[in-house]
Structure formats: C-alpha cells, structure tokens
Amino acid sequence: MFIKKTTRKKWHGFIAVLAIAVLLSACGSNNAANNNNAAGQSPAGNQSTAPEAAERTVTDGMGHQVTIPAHPQHVLASYLEDHLVALNVKPVAQWSVPNGKQDYLQFALEGVPTISYDLPVEQVASFNPDLIIIANESEVQNDLYAQYSKIAPTYVLGDEVNKDWRKALTTIGDLLGQKDEAEQLLAQYDNKAEEVKEKLQEKAAGKKAAAIWLVQKQFYIVGEEQSSGQVLYKDLGLTPPNVTKEIPADSKAIWNSISLEKLAQLDADYIFLVNSDTDVSETLNSKLWQNIPAVKAGNVFQIPATSSWLYSGYVAGGQIIDDVQKFVLKP
C-alpha cells in the first residue's frame, strides 16, 4: 500500500527528504555542467532592463504592497534559482542544505555563496540584497516577512504561482524587467517539448513511464503535476503508470513514498530511477523489483541524484527532456 507522505502545505517536509538526497550526493562528482552541455541549455535574457524602467509598486501573492527597484542588482531568491539562471541573473546567494546545493545549476552558479534553505534573517542581511523573492507563504510565517522586509523589498510568489514554474518564471521575469525574455523562454521550451513529444509518439505511443527516487532504501514515485512528472506526462505525452493514478488525492505530493510491495505492481514500460543511494545491490536485486515489467525488459534508466529530475523549471525541464530523448529515443 502507499505510505502517506507530507502534503504540499508541509513544504519543509519535502525539503528534509531532499536534503538527505543532496547530502548523499554531495561527495560525488559534480556533473551539472556536463549535463547542461549535453542538454544544450542556452539560458536566454540578460540582467539589463529597458532604459525607461522605474521603481514601481506591485502586489505579491500574499497581498503585500511591494516597491520593486527599477534595476535590482542583488537578488536573493532561494530555491528559485532555476528561474534566475534561465534569465541569466546571478543571485547574491544560492539555496543549500548542509554540504549540498542544486548541482544541476552549478554550470551557472559555481562560486555563488550558499545560504541555508530556511533563510536565517542574519544570513539574509549579510548578503545585502536589494530584492528578496520568496517562494511560499509558509516561509515567511512567525513575523519573518516583517524581518525580511526591513532588509529589502520582499515579494512572496505564493503557493499557487510557485507550484507552476511557468507562472513563477513569468512573474520573476516581470519583477526583474525581463517579461519579454521570460515569454521567449516559455516559447523555446514548448517548442522543444513538442518536437520531442512528436518523436516519442512515433516510437513510444501509449507507453507508460515512471520516475522513481531511491533514497536510504526508500522509494518515492513522482506525481503527475510537478517536477519530472509534469515533464513526462504533460509536456511529453507519456502515460502515467497504474500506481501513480492510484495515489489518494488527499495525500498526493510531488514525490510520494511507496512501498516495494506496491511498486512491484507497477505496469510501467520505462522507469527513470533517480538513485541517491551508494549501495543499491540489495534493494535492486530483490525478487519484487526484478519482476517489474520495465526491469525485466531492461528499460530502467539510472539517473544520478545530482541531476535535475527532482526539480522544476525551464532549466530542469529542458535537461529532463534531453534525458528522456537520450534514453528512449536512442538508436
């Protein structure tokens, strides 16, 4: 049976699990730059803004009136760095957990200092940002918004915007005076996805695919709406497997904890296995795992934990599309 996992509202629960994976992969090789080269990523846009840009006041996702500088130069947007990288904006600091960060973005963020994922006020102040962008309402509870706002204008995207990376990219692009660049990026992404989708329809029409994350011998399966699930099912048109569709609506998360016994019922033709464990021999040699159809057919594609498959965004999605194309559309 499914093991109930923390809902979206418990965002820090997911961060805690992700932190484990980052910690496990931190000692491994950092291949984000190579992944990016292989993916052919070309983040568009630049940090310049139109000459007529001026300071303006906007309403954020929580109803705050926020005065945005005309030309933000020192942006802090923790766990939103994918959008900044896509827009060719280098933040003053980047999201991290102890000994780890978002490896897949290091081709653009190498050398950028890190800040703890929970954004301690003293750390935030030490970077002297002129604009702070926060992803979710839960990150500014207990008077944190007031404290951040004393440091710099603070804009909260809000859950509804943040969970849709396209909306988040568009919103951040607008805040930074790069609305047109953000729209161009979305068009580029959609064109790329549609091109690969058409190729998949020729070779893998109706095929079912699953993205599975293995960390500390525990399996998680991606949902359909976000992260690599959105890329597989919404953008590329692959079919979700039976167990994904059976996840109870009231406990759906980005990554859903699943027992090996339940996973043994998986009817996927392809499995993309994000491996955060150093020793998987015992787990992957079990009879239950070996009897999964995709495993029997040799269609399990191991993805390193340093990849973009746990994330969402223009850069992450583009790299995931390239991985799917490499594995499924290989000659």
More confident residue, 28 or 152: 152
Q: What is the CATH number assigned to the segment(s) 11-26+190-328?
A: 3.40.50.1980
Instruction: Give strand ranges (E) for the chain.
Output: 56-59, 65-68, 75-76, 94-97, 100-101, 114-116, 131-134, 154-156, 209-215, 218-222, 255-258, 270-275, 300-304
| Rounded distance between C-alpha atoms, residue 260 and residue 88, angstroms | 42
Domain boundaries, the chain: 11-26+190-328, 37-185
**What is d(CA 196, CA 325) in angstroms, rounded to the nearest whole number?**
7
The DSSP symbol for 277 reads -
Q: Which range among 38-47, 49-58, 143-152 shows the weakest confidence by mean pLDDT? A: 38-47
Collapsing DSSP states into helix, strand and coil, what is residue 256?
strand
Question: Residue 193 corresponds to which tokens in the numbers above?
Answer: 């996805």
Q: DSSP of 170-212, one letter per residue?
A: HHHHHHTT-HHHHHHHHHHHHHHHHHHHHHHHHHHTT-BEEEE
pLDDT of residue 278: 77
DSSP 232: I
312, 226 Cβ separation under 8 angstroms: yes
Cα torsion 29, 32, 36, 42: sign: negative
- How large is the average pLDDT for residues 166-179? 97
Answer whether residue 155 shows pLDDT above 90.
Answer: yes
First to last CA, the chain: 38
Which CATH code, of 1.50.10.20, 3.40.50.1980, 3.40.50.280, 3.40.50.1580, is assigned to 37-185?
3.40.50.1980
**Closest of 298, 303, 213, 296 to residue 257, by C-alpha:** 213
Query: Quick one: pLDDT at residue 51?
Result: 52
| Same fold for the pair 11-26+190-328 and 37-185 | yes
- pLDDT at residue 22 above 80? no
pLDDT of residue 227: 92
Mean pLDDT over the full length of the chain? 86
Residues of the chain above pLDDT 90, percent: 69
Alpha-carbon distance of 99 to 156, in angstroms, equals 27
pLDDT for the residue 281: 75
